[in-house]
DNA sequence: ACGAATTAGTCTGCACCATACGCAGTGATA
DNA sequence: TATCACTGCGTATGGTGCAGACTAATTCGT
């Protein structure tokens, strides 16, 4: 309880730091390190080599300090990860905050913008979610998306649900597409062989719908195909929202919230 | 290269095992363990305590063997994880394979069925994706979904993209909803306080769209709200596919594949 | 029937991990 | 000036995945 990162009531340790509310210390030697340095160096390491490449000792080495000195700034590695995610998200780019020609366009732009972020910091998606988003930058992104949906006429709940849908798909897509690309650009030790061998295993009687597609080569995706898949899915999501918007013009409440208990 | 798990050309080690093509060994003492035992015990451990609770030594302890004995059956922990995922998926339940009244219904049922699986084996979603799905049960699930979409009239590529969309959203939803529920059912050390404190931090000038929603309590989700969110998103996805099906009745090819290079 | 070949499980050891704890020095405050 | 909160470091603990040598069991070729 003597760490400098215990500033306010109830808040989880890292969260308070991210909002910049630490009771600035006075006594003692000036810190030669700073939280910013640490977090940025950690992001650099994780960007380069994934979460596996980020250990407290490697991070300390990169900064020229010993492992344990980091714990003066961060209460645990999980804490550090939370801060890293928030910094890595960054502020939503300015064009996203300008009013878009339509909410369809707004969602589309938002999804593509955050996909870039996720791709750049893929490790962030591997950090387990431990609660609702409460970090400033995450909320800023969410706010940007909600602003774009303002003129859909949807209820607040539906807007939130839509935001979760869009973000959720982008996240899983970022993970999947990276896995596919990485597999495709590997030394080929397990590239062509499976394609042939699997063709023999995926028989039409066990996989009646899949087998013909494999045989037709629909699985041999290159990078452009992957982009097509994302475009397709995003368009489907937006169409799905659109069909709701069209059919429920204004002041709708077709999905009443379950009555509040307690 | 002397392990019994090196069966066929090119295939990654675990994959071959999952398809059941190991060159059955002859000489030497009879194995007292079996791959099934190991994988099932590992799944049990992971189900109970997450991926963090699964270490080779804990697994060996649970089976009453030493750590290293496991490596006679499995070439690496990653290998084990791949096998675990395949077994944990299991065969798609029978009702999913019966023809549904409509493809809309088929997608809906499939998504809810696989959500149950993901919820039961959440750890599986934390294992990084390392390539296209090539395990038998994963492909069986994919095939089941594709069968349900057969009468959409969509191209094979669009069907695949749709499948990826549905699965991708379910995955991210399983992860998120678990995180939210876990946070909500925690000892309350960080439950009520943030809600109040964050309200003060999330100001209307920095978060113009979000702040009113927070103030209105749209964020205080209970379990039923979470189900509503999933229902909503799934309906949006299906609607989005529907709008494409409606506008492109048959034999469509509006999204030409990018021309094959190489 | 017997030795050779092959395999199952164990043991030891290595490199690495997060982090608890205590200590030395620093430097602003009383 | 004396205090003492604070920074940064060293050491230590108990964990991880896994390489490699070793023992004992089993089966094949002869």
* Minimal Cβ distance to A130: which of B160, B183, B236: B183
d(CA B85, nearest CA chain A) in Å: 16
For residues A180 and A156, give the distance between their C-alpha atoms in angstroms, rounded to a whole number. Answer: 36
How many angstroms separate the CA of B7 from the C1' of C5? 20
Nucleotide nearest residue B63, measured CA to C1': C9
Which chain B residues are within 8 Å of A201, Cβ to Cβ? 19, 136
The closest CB to that of A236, out of B143, B225, B241, belongs to B241
| A contacts of B169 (beta carbons < 8 Å) | 165, 168-169, 172
Q: Token digits for B153?
A: 């009239």
What's the predicted TM-score (pTM) here? 0.90
Integer Cα distance of B59 and B179 in angstroms? 26
pLDDT the model gives residue A201 = 85
Nearest chain A residue to B171 by CA: give it: A172
Q: Could you identify the residue whose CA is nearest to the C1' atom of nucleotide C29? A: A27
| Nearest by CB: B239 against A180, A229, A244 | A244
Contact B232 A210 (CB under 8 A): no
Residue B91 CA to nucleotide D16 C1', Å? 33
Considering all nucleic acid strands, name the nucleotide whose C1' atom is nearest to the C-alpha of residue A74: C19
Banded model confidence at residue B15, pLDDT cuts 50, 70, 90? confident
**Inter-chain residue contact B232 with A242, CB threshold 8 Å:** no
Tell me which residues from 9 to 48 on chain B have a beta carbon below 7 angstroms from nucleic acid strand D.
26-30
- Helix or strand holding residue A162 (H, E): helix A156-184
pLDDT band per the 50, 70, 90 thresholds, residue B148: very high
Select from B97, B143, B19 the least CA-distant residue to A210.
Answer: B143
Split at pLDDT 50, 70, 90, the class of B60 is very high
- Look at B131 and A179 and tell me if their CB atoms are within 8 Å: yes
Between CA A28 and C1' C26 the distance (Å) reads: 6
How far is the CA of A176 from the CAs of A181, A183, A186, B33, B172, in angstroms? 9, 11, 16, 34, 11
Most confident region among A123-137, B20-34, B46-60, B236-250 by mean pLDDT: B46-60
Q: Is residue A127 over pLDDT 90? A: yes
Mean pLDDT lowest among A93-102, A232-241, B24-33: B24-33
**Lowest mean pLDDT across B13-27, B173-187, B220-234:** B13-27
Distances (CA, A) of B173 to A165, A170, B121, B169: 8, 12, 14, 6
**Residue A194's pLDDT is what?**
58
Tokens of A145: 């998306």
Are B11 and A164 a contacting pair at CB < 8 A?
A: no
Q: Which long-range contacts (CB under 8 A, 24 or more apart) does A112-120 make?
A: A112/A234, A114/A141, A114/A167, A114/A170, A115/A170, A115/A173, A115/A174, A115/A230, A117/A88, A117/A89, A117/A90, A118/A170, A118/A171, A118/A174, A119/A174, A119/A178, A120/A47, A120/A88
Task: Determine the protein residue whose CA lies at the shortest distance from the C1' of C21.
Answer: A68
Ordered alpha helix ranges (H), A24-150: 35-49, 56-63, 77-89, 94-97, 103-120, 123-126, 136-148
State whether B160 and A213 contact (CB < 8 Å): yes
For CA atoms A85, A91, A95, A98, give the dihedral sign: positive
Q: What is the DSSP string of B152-221?
A: G---HHHHHHHHHHHHHHHHHHHHHHHHHHHHHTS-STTSHHHHHHHHHHS-TTTSTTHHHHHHTTTT--
Q: Do A15 and B194 touch (CB under 8 A)?
A: yes
CA of A24 to C1' of D1 (A): 26
Higher pLDDT, B220 or B56: B56
Q: Is the dihedral of CA A231, A235, A237, A238 positive or negative?
A: positive
The tokens 């591997």 sit on which residue?
Answer: A126
Nearest Cα to Cα of residue A153 among A237, A236, A239, A246: A246
pLDDT at site A115 = 98
d(CA B90, CA B77): 20
pLDDT mean over B113-136: 95
Q: What is the pLDDT of residue B8?
A: 45
C-alpha to C-alpha distance for B230 and B176, rounded to whole angstroms = 11
More confident call, B89 vs B250: B89
If one compares A105 and B182, the residue with the highest pLDDT of the two is: A105
Q: Distance, in angstroms, between A28 CA and closest chain B CA?
A: 30
Which residue shows structure tokens 């059912």? B185
Q: Which of the two residues, B55 and A133, has the higher pLDDT score?
A: B55
Span B159-180, pLDDT tens digits: 999 999 999 999 999 999 999 8
Whether B233 sits inside 8 A of A202 (CB atoms) is no
Which pLDDT band, with edges at 50, 70 and 90, does A249 fall under?
Answer: low
* Per-chain mean pLDDT for chain A: 85
Token pair 């896995």 is found at A179
């Amino acid at each position: 309880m003597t760490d400098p990162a215990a500033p306010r009531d109830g808040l989880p340790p890292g969260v308070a730091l991210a909002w910049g509310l630490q009771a600035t210390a006075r006594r003692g030697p000036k810190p030669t390190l700073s939280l910013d340095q640490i977090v940025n160096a950690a992001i650099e390491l994780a960007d380069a080599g994934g979460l596996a490449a980020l250990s407290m000792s490697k991070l300390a080495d990169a900064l020229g300090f010993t492992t344990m000195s980091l714990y003066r700034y961060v209460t645990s590695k999980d804490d550090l990860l939370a801060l890293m995610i928030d910094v890595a998200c960054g502020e939503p780019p300015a064009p996203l905050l300008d009013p878009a020609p339509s909410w369809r366009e707004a969602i589309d732009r938002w999804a593509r913008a955050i996909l870039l972020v996720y791709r750049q910091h893929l490790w962030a998606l591997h950090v387990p979610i431990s609660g609702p988003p409460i970090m400033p930058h995450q909320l800023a992104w969410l706010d940007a998306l909600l602003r774009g949906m303002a003129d859909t006429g949807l209820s607040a709940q539906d807007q939130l649900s839509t935001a979760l849908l869009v973000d959720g798909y982008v996240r899983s897509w970022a993970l999947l597409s990276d896995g596919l690309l990485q597999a495709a650009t590997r030394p080929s030790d397990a590239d062509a062989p499976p394609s042939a061998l699997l063709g023999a295993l995926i028989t039409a009687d066990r996989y009646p719908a899949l087998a013909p597609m494999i045989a037709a080569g629909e699985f041999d995706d290159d990078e452009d195909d992957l982009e097509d898949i994302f475009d397709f899915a995003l368009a489907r999501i937006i169409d799905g929202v659109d069909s709701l918007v069209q059919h429920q013009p204004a002041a709708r409440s077709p999905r009443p919230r379950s009555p509040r208990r307690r």
